[in-house]
Amino acid sequence: MSIREYTGDSPLQIGLLGFGTVGKAAEQMLEENRDWIERRAGGPLAIKRILVRHPGKHRDDARRLTVDPFEVLDDPDIRIVVEVMGGMDPARHYILEALRRGKTVITANKEVMSSCGQEIFRAGDVGRADIFFEASVCGGIPIIYALKESLAANRIRSLIGIVNGTTNYILSKMTHEGWDFAPALEDAQAKGYAEADPSADVEGHDAARKLAILASIAFGSRVTPNQVYTEGIERVTARDIQYARELGWSVKLLAIAKEGDEGLEVRVHPTFLPQDHPLAAVSDAFNAIYVDAEPLGEAMFYGRGAGGKPTASAILGDVVAAARNLRSGGRAVSCTCHRELSCRHMSEVSTGYYLRLAVFDRPGVLARVAQALGDQGVSLTSVLQKLTQGDQAELVLITHRAREKDVQAAVAELRQLAVVTGILNLIRIEGVV
């Protein structure tokens, strides 16, 4: 019997690669809702084998645990492989091997899917095997299904998301509770939101991977993380957050993708966002994706994007879809990229800017600063001066929409001015004309 011709009433056997936060939550969800899930899947499900690195640390039936990936990959009874180990290799290798053997793969791995999506889909096509990856972006929010299927007839104009729970949690705690960065990160780690190496969250790489996956589907053109301009939240201070609030903005790590006449704009960076924007209200570890599409208009997808239970919800939704396909002989949609758009270099992108400078508090300083910006065609909408210490003041400048290249040239000029003692921060603003 070919692996694609499964029709039996015996349990559909599953192999787990990884048994950490997500793997354990997925098993627990299956155990607690077995009757319900199996009815929807069309028959019984069983987790036959679990790959881990350190079997001794797991309190599980030792016969199910293995350190040998081929006990999963080469087992003909195992028809669904759930990869929840994370990282690039060996996870990528195991996913490819499972697909080549005709096994359905379900993965939460944004690192692999964002950088190697094309290779993975090809292996699935060769093995005639389905690949599901809803859990790789925004945990429990069904955004991949929505973009691939429900919105397939729309042209997406833009997609703006809060796609990293850890950084949204940190920024929310800094904004609403006055917490410092370090305890907020520790708390996010304790709650299971952060990646094994939290620098992927804090430096924006996790969000860039998720944006690459979403943009590829939304615009039908493959985007990889190295094309996404990426800045993390490390430089955002309590002072920046305080100024943002005074000026009517919230500070969020946004993942932004837009289609224009000159290709795609794909970027992840801390952003000032008007407080009345629907994304501004998204707090703690919640995620949201705000889509503007033709003819749909605006739509927002909101929910829990990190942590064991929300991610297990996406994994088990994919298990049900996989089981239905295996039982009916149907196939999931493979790669949806059908054109090749270029990604604009960040230097060509236009947006609003917040600039915080340390300057000498002397006559003529403001004029010199405004001149440096004006020389590059960067126009100001507002200026705030806050006295700090002695003859030093802090200047907060807000620009009209300006080109990144021009703003960076103006910043380089400002650095040369004797009256400017420091460029304290530069944060982009969404929604400025």
Cα(227)–Cα(393) distance, rounded to whole angstroms?
38
Q: Is 18 in the site for ligand NAP (CB under 6 A)?
A: yes
Residue 9 backbone zone (phi > 0: left; psi -120 to 50: alpha; other: beta): alpha
Residues 6+ apart with CB under 8 A from 92: 109, 112, 116, 120
Which of 223, 178, 185, 181 minimizes the C-alpha distance to 201? 185
The site map against ligand NAP for 38-57 (x = CB under 6 A) is: -------------xxxx---
Region of 12-20, 123-131, 250-258, 348-356 interacting with ligand NAP (CB under 6 A): 12-20
Q: Is 195 in the site for ligand HSE (CB under 6 A)?
A: yes
Marked catalytic residue, from 103, 110, 173, 210 = 210
Q: Is 164 in the site for ligand HSE (CB under 6 A)?
A: yes
Task: Rank residues 313 and 376 by Cβ distance to ligand NAP and give the closer one.
Answer: 313
Q: Is 143 in the site for ligand NAP (CB under 6 A)?
A: no
Region of 13-21, 263-271, 344-352, 390-398 interacting with ligand NAP (CB under 6 A): 13-21
Please identify which residue in 18, 161, 165, 204 interacts with ligand HSE, judged by CB under 6 A.
Answer: 165
Largest interatomic CA distance in the chain: 86
Cα(159)–Cα(264) distance, rounded to whole angstroms?
11
CA torsion, ordered 261, 265, 271, 275, to nearest 10 deg: 50
Q: Is 317 in the site for ligand HSE (CB under 6 A)?
A: no
Helix or strand (DSSP H, E) at 163: none
Chosen from ligand HSE, ligand NAP, none, partner binding at 18 (C-beta under 5 to 8 Å by type): ligand NAP
Query: Which of positions 201-220 make contact with ligand HSE (CB under 6 A)?
Result: 201, 206
Please identify which residue in 307, 313, 402, 432 interacts with ligand NAP, judged by CB under 6 A.
Answer: 307
Q: How far is the CB of 49 from ligand NAP (least distance, A)?
A: 12
Q: Is 59 in the site for ligand NAP (CB under 6 A)?
A: no
Which of 213, 297, 221, 296 minimizes the C-alpha distance to 259? 221
Which of 274, 283, 282, 256 minimizes the C-alpha distance to 398? 274
210: annotated active-site residue: yes
The site map against ligand NAP for 109-128 (x = CB under 6 A) is: xx------------------
Buried b (16+ CB within 10 A) or exposed e, 217-246: bbbbbbbbbebbbbbbbeebeeebbebbee
- Known catalytic residues are 210
Q: Which residues bind ligand NAP (CB under 6 A)?
A: 18-23, 51-54, 84-86, 90, 108-110, 135, 139, 192-193, 195-196, 306-307, 311
